[in-house]
Amino acid sequence: MQVLSWKDIQNTEKQHMWEAVKECFDNPNIELYRDDTLEHLCTLWTNWRSLLNVKFVRPYKSKVEVLKNVPSGVNVEDWKWLVTNKFMTEKFQKISQQNTKNRSASDMGMPHRIGSRPHREIIYENGGKDSTPPDLGVIFLKTRCKNEKLDGTREKEKYDEIVKTIMSNPSLSNLEIVEKHFGQQRHGHVYGYGGGVKRKNFNDSKYTYIKELEAKLHEKDEENRNLKRRMDVFESRLIRIENGDLPSLGTTTSDDIQEDA
């Protein structure tokens, strides 16, 4: 609680979080997911702090009132520190007000209509599982539809603009299309792709996040297969030695090993 941002949390604490996550899942390749999982934890943590501000700070006019309304499950001293050093500072208040104005004046005000379903699930169902993720037009349509129809004039106009851009400029990357219609994207979020997908997950031509992860998994699987083959050879030799078909390991030659392999 008593940190200004995620980057102020020490690596030892982040490793503790990761160990807690690993206790909940059984996956031999789980370490490949560490960085992505911690990024998601960062998003959850940031959103939670933002919710605290919205529900327990904004409705009240004075610091005294805010300090009296301690959120359930939050330590009193932690809340006092967070309010004093972050939520009620002039810098934070100024940034918060500007962000509110930016949201109300931008196209980001067109909410998705998919409830709690993650955007990446929509992407997966519409080509992502076959390594051919949909373009922004399809993502926008699938996430903004209500009863299979776009709800609102702004949404319809924006969808038509996106499709027109894709048709007239097929060489544009997904990120370029996003930024053409929704402005420069923050490092921590890309419009239309939901939480966890960042600007760095794109390259000059296409969305590559899934493919990069698949490549890592393939490399790890190949290592496991090679190790299993070596173990099978070793176990086979032990059985033959026990049966008297081969000399003991101390007298085994390199030619014997090569023959078995």
93 alpha carbon, distance to own chain's centre: 28
Q: At what angle do helices 153-168 and 174-182 cross, to 10 degrees?
A: 140
Whether the per-residue pLDDT at 4 is higher than 60: the answer is yes
User: In 3D, which of 77, 80, 48 has the Cα closest to residue 66?
Assistant: 80
Calculate mean pLDDT across residues 188-206. Answer: 71
Contact 42, 21 (CB under 8 A): no
φ and ψ at 32, to 5 degrees? -65, -20
* Amino acid making up residue 17: M
Tell me the residue ranges of DSSP E strands in 147-244: 149-150
Summarize pLDDT for 46-60 with one digit per residue, the tens.
Answer: 989 999 999 999 999
Tell me the residue ranges of DSSP E strands in 118-216: 145-146, 149-150
pLDDT at 255: 52
pLDDT at 256: 52
Lowest-confidence range among 73-87, 128-142, 154-168, 242-256?
242-256
Contact 110, 98 (CB under 8 A): no
155 alpha carbon, distance to own chain's centre: 26
Summarize pLDDT for 75-125 with one digit per residue, the tens.
Answer: 999 999 999 999 999 999 888 887 777 666 554 557 788 887 888 889 989
Lowest-confidence range among 95-104, 148-157, 163-172, 178-187?
95-104
Between 248 and 60, where is the model more confident?
60
Per-domain residue ranges of the chain: 6-105, 119-207, 211-260
All residues at 6 or more sequence positions from 10 whose CB lies less than 8 Å from its CB, including other chains: none
Confidence of residue 220 (pLDDT cuts 50, 70, 90): confident
Q: How far is CA 91 from CA 2, 79, 84, 127, 204, in A?
A: 17, 18, 12, 44, 36
Mean pLDDT of the chain: 83
pTM here is 0.56
User: For the chain, percent helix, then strand, then coil, each to nearest 5?
Assistant: 65, 0, 35
Whether the per-residue pLDDT at 207 is higher than 50: the answer is no
Calculate mean pLDDT across residues 69-76. Answer: 94
pLDDT at 102: 64
26 alpha carbon, distance to own chain's centre: 19
pLDDT at 190: 85
Calculate mean pLDDT across residues 188-203. Answer: 76
Whether the per-residue pLDDT at 168 is higher than 70: the answer is yes
All residues at 6 or more sequence positions from 234 whose CB lies less than 8 Å from its CB, including other chains: none
Between 12 and 145, where is the model more confident?
12
